Amino acid sequence: MHGGISEELQDFRQLEKIERPCDIPDIGVIADLTWADPDPNISGYEESPRGAARIFGVDALKSFCKLHGLDLIVRAHQVVTDGYEFFGDRHLVTIFSAPNYCGQFDNSAAVMYVNKDLTCTFAIHKPLISLAKNVD
């Protein structure tokens, strides 16, 4: 998914009922799957400081995975420094594939490979131009 998990998603069949194309609302399942972010400092779900969707803690992630029989959720919505970043005891990984994002971040990009045994590996792509300032 692009964003994160939603406390409103109780059954994946709910997704079949969404008419497409559609505008993304500020709250609800579609908003959360598009924009929700993990936050290690909270418990459960809270309103997002971005103003759309929710943020969620490790406990919410683990409950969501258990409810839906998932081992790993892969998302892409946030810039992460090393191109990928695990969350919640490796139940969620953020993959970001744009190095030096918008010329404003000094982040690497990553591509995740999943082999036929479901083993995940990552290829890291460092930015060609570093934004770090040299200090003389």
Amino acid identity, position 74? V
- Residue 130's pLDDT is 66
Write out the two tokens for 35: 């924009």
Residues 2-26 pLDDT 10s: 999 999 999 999 999 999 999 999 9
Question: The pTM is what?
Answer: 0.88
What one-letter code names the amino acid at 109? A
One-letter amino acid of 85: E
pLDDT in tens, 48-85: 998 889 999 999 999 999 999 999 999 998 999 999 99
Task: Provide the CA 98 distance to its chain's centre, in angstroms.
Answer: 14
Q: How far from each other are the two terminal CA atoms of the chain, in whole angstroms? A: 43
So where are the chain's domains?
1-70, 71-128
Check residue 98 and give its pLDDT: 94
Radius of gyration of the chain (CA): 16
Residues 89-106, mean pLDDT to the nearest whole number: 95
Q: How far apart are CA 68 and CA 78, in angstroms?
A: 23
Q: From 134, 132, 114, 130, select the one nearest 122 (Cα to Cα).
A: 114
